[in-house]
Chains A and B, each alone.
Chain A
């Protein structure tokens, strides 16, 4: 079972449980991986590379990750609110963290459609 997102460079090793990943935000050539403890892990990977990393996992993790536009990947299990009008998405476990991000109306409309169809 692929329970962890693992990544290593010459000096660092990351082993982040998938179910603790809330969102991954692109930041130039880096990405900020926010976890449920509100910790922000900065990794020297681009968002597309992380997406490829997740895509290449076998077996695929239970958590469903959704790429929203060019700069955001979210863990769908933590999506608690989205507003097409406000162009806002909120991820939270309802207890210990709250992550807010902006997205386009079209992307949020598509996300709403996907979530309603699940």
Chain B
């Protein structure tokens, strides 16, 4: 195995450059690439200088004429631009180590999530994050456990006591076979789904199985929702302890394993977990931040 000298970084590259890894000497292509950059930069500098000069001339003319209205118009256009930029939502992520295990902790943007159902949720895109929410029953293909979509009750069941309710812009995680939030979600046009409980009020929910799975969770950490994805297979006990160690006060399982979920990080970097073209059905459900 090759050792890695961690103090050596090979980052002498700009975002507008490429490098063929392993090339002993620069190729003609690389020469062209290298020579392109200064030209592009010089051209950019000329354009920027011309733009600044033009702006100065316009400002001087406006000041001489004593006209205020064009500046007000600029303010409006700037407001429009910032509004457009604010629609770009991204997740942030970090890795938490817990013994031999690692968990990818993904913090969605600070917007209220919704639930969506269908086989094209991921393909349709347009989200900061979409993660599979409730299990699909193997016997009849329906959603497992009570499920409310935009106030409509699509499925009923309490096999899993954990729940997530999204009502009037608030997200509630909890454990209860008969939560009043189910009815409230229906009445308010909200959302509700069930899955296996993992953490309740800072305490682990006990599970009999010691088998190891590819686990995911929706957790409440420091009053923020976090999606936790185990980077390697873990038992429920290990996963739950790791979540509590990371500060989770409440957490329920999200559908894990090969079922695909996707998120977008800053810069438009799209990442996923699970099999991209794995099985999905019309009853596949997702919790979505968009």
Q: Which residues of A contact B (CB under 8 A)?
A: 6-8, 11-12, 25, 27-28, 30, 32, 34, 37-42, 44-49, 51-57, 60-61, 64-71, 73, 95-107, 109-111, 113-114, 117
Contact = CB atoms under 8 A, between A and B. Distances in A.
B265 interface: yes
B37 A114 contact: no
A57 B33 CA distance: 25
A102 B268 contact: yes
A45 B6 CA distance: 8
Given A25-B269, A101-B270, A67 B13 contact: yes
Contacts of A25: 269, 271
Contacts of A53: 2, 4
Nearest to A100: B270
Interface of B: 1-2, 4-6, 8-11, 13-22, 28-29, 32-33, 36-37, 40, 93-95, 97, 99-100, 102, 104, 231, 260, 265, 267-277
Contacts of A51: 10, 21
10 contacts: A12-B102, A38-B272, A42-B95, A45-B6, A67-B13, A96-B275, A96-B276, A102-B269, A107-B15, A113-B33
A32 B271 contact: yes
Nearest to A96: B277
Question: Do most interface residues of chain A lie in helix, strand or loop, or is the interface mixed?
Answer: mixed
Contacts of A60: 22
Given A6-B2, A66-B21, 17 more contacts: A11-B100, A12-B100, A38-B273, A40-B271, A40-B273, A42-B231, A52-B10, A57-B22, A67-B19, A69-B16, A97-B276, A101-B268, A101-B269, A102-B267, A104-B15, A106-B40, A107-B16
Contact of B275 (A6, A38, A64): A38
A73 B22 CA distance: 12
A106 B36 contact: yes
A110 B33 CA distance: 6
Contacts of A46: 9, 11
